[in-house]
Structure 1
């Protein structure tokens, strides 16, 4: 078996070339292409070319908010928070947080008999400035988020709904797509914290690459 001779700094570039080659004649919306391809790259799973769903104008609208800075990305796992590119966040004057380990969140979840992920959404509703919700693990977070939206307590700029698993995962994604909020969702059971972070990064890279190209 012959190995490809690829320099370390060119591995990602070559990976995306392979993804483009293997997609073949499947045409992706140019506005969404880099996001879908980064999900494929992250999970090595071409199903994302067919399962990603986007609300109307969500990419352009989210980029317009990110461009102005001061936004906060709220994740439901430390893994997703860690996977969000800190250099890109800094360039855009953004922030990424995860409340899962916060004592007040644990106390609120215990009192309400809910999951900590659901309680995290309640804490997210108290944040100032534009909020992006990135869920890669907990469907209960999406269900509670829908309730908070209906109660008028939160109005997220974007909801990334890609929890992975079997219990209420498919249903929670359908709930968010019907909630009226801007969304990027991977329908079905697949997803994960790494995919949630990848979507955040793909959006930010669109802006940071534009900034680099203008210099």
Structure 2
């Protein structure tokens, strides 16, 4: 089923491209960068995001082959279109040295096992917990937001060597994380140009 792109979205991307030349990016990188910028109306993401095409290509194939998608919060799940997600935050309980978000990651890992795509847009502690597991993810979209632990957790993700989309600064959030995954969902499997 082809996605119908609303004229407002088409015009928004036209204006984005008029203000920022994204043609230098490889196809999937360009799709993610543009969709994230579009979600936040923040052109600085073009230089703040850290991602590699060689990570995105196998993740794109995995996503379109039905690999499970795990999210840290319902806000991320709400922003992801055309795909069911796993979110265990409602079942999670904090404990000594363990936040509710970190516990939710443990519960989700018990559900999906290794090889999932993880989308973390809210809680740095969720990303930190994921890095302690043997999750062998197809991709980690690690874009939590905040002044405490967000930049550090994303730096730890990059240092882990896992296939990832992250950013350097403290900004991020549910909408941005969902947008990064949607970029891969919307991108055709033939690697043609994105709308």
The reply to whether TM is greater than 0.5 is yes
1:193 counterpart = 2:174: yes
| Structure 2 residue runs without a partner (length 5+) | none
1:144 aligns with 2:129: yes
The structure carrying a bigger helix percent of its residues is 1
Structure 1: which 5+ residue stretches go unaligned?
1-7, 90-94
Cα RMSD for the two superposed structures:
2.2
2:141–2:165 Cα contact (<8 Å) kept:
yes
**TM-score when normalising by structure 1:** 0.80
Inter-CA distance 182–24: structure 2 relative to 1 (3 Å threshold)? closer
CA deviation after TM superposition for structure 1 residue 48, in Å: 0.7
Match of 1:81 in 2: 77
Choose the corresponding residue for 1:118, options 93, 102, 108: 102
SS at match of 2:141: strand
What TM-score do you get using the length of structure 2 for normalisation? Answer: 0.88
TM-superposed CA distance for 1:52, in Å, is 0.9
Mapped to 2, the partners of 1:75 and 1:44 lie a distance apart of: 23
Do the aligned residues in 1 keep the contact of 2:70 with 2:108 (CA within 8 Å)? yes
**Matches of residues 1-215 of structure 1 in structure 2 within 5 Å?**
9-24=6-21, 27-55=24-52, 57-69=54-66, 71-86=67-82, 89=83, 95-102=84-91, 105-106=92-93, 109-110=94-95, 112-126=96-110, 127-128=112-113, 130-148=115-133, 152=134, 154-207=135-188
Distance 2:131 2:29 in 1: 24
Larger Rg: 1
